[in-house]
Structure 1
Amino acid sequence: MTKFIGTGVALITPFNADLSIDYDALERLVEYNIANGTEYLVISGTTGESVTVTAEEKKQLVSFITKVNKGRLPLVLGIGGNNTTNVVSEIKTTDFSAIDGILSVSPYYSKPTQEGIYQHFKAIAEVAPKPIILYNVPGRTSSNMSPETTLRLARDFDNIIAVKEAGNNVHQYLELLRTKPKDFLILSGDDDLALSVALAGGSGVISVIGQALPKEFSEMIRLGIAGRAKEAYDIHFKLMPITGLIFSENNPAGIKAVLSSLNISKPSVRLPLVQATDYLKKEIADALKILGKS
């Protein structure tokens, strides 16, 4: 699935001060990423505050981004949860006419066994009309999807084509890369490890910071996939400070502070998240100045 090789970005959902969706900012963000080298867009992921966006708002977001995108980049839609029946129902009732792939997070809160995780994704794979990207993020789900489970799913279902691995675990990345089926994609979900994963044989990243610095980040990943380590690490080292800062309080408050500093969107988030502190906002603004971005 070459359309998912390179840099995808987990789009924020921009909010106005009253916490309604800021569609003007969303249009700016989508156009900014299209113009600066992002390979595909991910709608309604963790960074999009999917758990506090209503079902109707989600439909509106898909419709609006589809209209702005005009088929220029592939679109991936996040559909996941810890109620397998509800996830299957959402997939069955979603219009996928403009969507190229599904990003589905491993079940959270319930802490299923590996067999439970397998059966959850089996049920999804059996109804999904689009390719599936598994999403392992144990820091949020409190349950790690093991490489064995990931690759069992990859081998058993042709429509499971990739994993967004976000365990921040180098050994787990390497085990996936070592034993994966030939055409299965390993995508980094950790911005700080994305280049290392690309250089080791990964197929790219679904990034948070990439949507704010798409030109630099996507070029770094392309260089990494091509094995041009020296040039890629030159970019990586420049981006390290800002990448670390955006996760220092929470995501997406950090990336929203960056995008606010770049005059793309406001820093507003919905509870239980709160905006980045004034201290972090200043640190981010200073880091962007060093990069020549403000």
Structure 2
Amino acid sequence: MAYEEAKQRFRGSIAPVITPFNEDESIDFEKFKELINWQIHSGSHGISVTGTSGEPSSMSIDERIEVMETACKTVNGRVPFLPGTGSTNHQETLRMTKAAQEMGADGAMVIVPYYNKPNQHALYKHFKAIADSVDIPIILYNIPGRTAINLEAITISRLAEDCPNIIGVKESNKDFEHVNKVLLHCGRNFNLYSGIEVLCYPMLAIGGAGHISATANIAPREVAEIYNKWEAGDVKGAQALHYEMMPLNDVLFRDTNPAPAKAALGMMGKVKPILRKPLDVPSEEIQAEIRETLTSYQLIKEDISAN
């Protein structure tokens, strides 16, 4: 029954917090803790780290676990904490998912292995082994644009049936027909989260549990409010906010995530806009567009000196 309770608790906007770095590319843990506190104070319903927005593939396993532990202590049970524990390497995924359980995380989000392109049966065996290794809830993470393979709805359904602790999936999948089939095959008690910004509102309309949106790094209150309005029955309010957020969503994906988000947070004075190689900051043209968009949303003040 604990997993059924988790399905109810793990709802809303789960913010996928970026990992801030210092000039020497070491992790800036103080800024990291500040970001987590800001997210919670701004109304985010949950916190996730070391997912795509957190640049996990640029960190060592020990660094990822340290980031997870720091986040877990900072969250301190105020909202659900769901770190990303997936890797292209099965043994690394096992190690990090077990570490998440040991540190007291509320659950773990496990990405489809990237680069390897396993078939559906291999994906089933991979995720079942991960789920069987822990007692905490597992959220699958399907992002075909990064992994080059889609976790099919039938495979998700099979995993949900065979593994009681697999309670949901984050779908960073623009195929809206696919995400509808996930709930068709898994049942609407299965937690479906949007990882595509423009689909955050539409996924709620088909029975989604919330969203895990990179835009929450920049506008946590507004991203959370889309869910709040929908949950309160304010359909028109949620719909209006959905369209209001679209220009910000668009500009944050002019370059590879999380480069635009880090540039935006730098302009907002939250972090140094530093990424680890091979990623780099967006072009000056994109940065100018980001600045103009942030100004239009009153997230930063207009730079009069530039006029």
Normalised by the length of structure 2, the TM-score is 0.91
Secondary structure of 2:63's match? helix
Secondary structure of 1:110's match? coil
**Counterpart amino acid of residue 202 in structure 1:** G
* Residue segments in structure 1 that go unaligned for 5+ positions in a row: none
For the 8 Å contact 1:151–1:180, the answer to whether it is kept is yes
After TM superposition, give the deviation of residue 179 of structure 1 in Å: 2.9
CA distance in structure 2 between the partners assigned to 1:165 and 1:225 by the alignment = 20
How is 1:162-241 mapped onto 2 (pairs within 5 angstroms)?
162-241=168-247
After TM superposition, give the deviation of residue 194 of structure 1 in Å: 0.8
- The CA RMSD over aligned residues, in Å, is 1.6
Partner in structure 2 of residue 256 of structure 1:
262
CA distance in structure 2 between the partners assigned to 1:171 and 1:182 by the alignment = 15
1:138 is aligned to 2:140: no
Q: How many residues align?
A: 294
Partner in structure 2 of residue 70 of structure 1:
76
CA distance in structure 1 between the partners assigned to 2:27 and 2:162 by the alignment = 39
How is 1:277-292 mapped onto 2 (pairs within 5 angstroms)?
277-292=283-298
How is 1:24-103 mapped onto 2 (pairs within 5 angstroms)?
24-92=30-98, 96-103=102-109
Normalised by the length of structure 1, the TM-score is 0.95
After TM superposition, give the deviation of residue 38 of structure 1 in Å: 0.2
Secondary structure of 1:255's match? helix
**Counterpart amino acid of residue 222 in structure 1:** N
Partner in structure 1 of residue 303 of structure 2:
none
After TM superposition, give the deviation of residue 281 of structure 1 in Å: 1.5
C-alpha change, 1:66 and 1:85, in structure 2 (3 Å) is closer
**Counterpart amino acid of residue 120 in structure 1:** H
For the 8 Å contact 1:202–1:225, the answer to whether it is kept is no
Secondary structure of 2:260's match? helix
C-alpha change, 1:74 and 1:93, in structure 2 (3 Å) is closer
C-alpha change, 1:160 and 1:7, in structure 2 (3 Å) is same
CA distance in structure 1 between the partners assigned to 2:168 and 2:50 by the alignment = 18
For the 8 Å contact 2:101–2:134, the answer to whether it is kept is no
Deviations 1:27-81 (A, max 9, x none): 2211111111101110111110001112222232123223322321211121112
For the 8 Å contact 1:19–1:270, the answer to whether it is kept is yes
Secondary structure of 2:82's match? strand
1:117 to 114, 123, 145: 123
After TM superposition, give the deviation of residue 227 of structure 1 in Å: 4.6
Secondary structure of 1:78's match? coil
CA distance in structure 2 between the partners assigned to 1:217 and 1:132 by the alignment = 23
For the 8 Å contact 1:155–1:181, the answer to whether it is kept is no
C-alpha change, 1:22 and 1:89, in structure 2 (3 Å) is closer
Q: What fraction of aligned residue pairs are identical, expressed as a percent?
A: 34
1:8 is aligned to 2:14: yes
1:269 to 238, 258, 275: 275
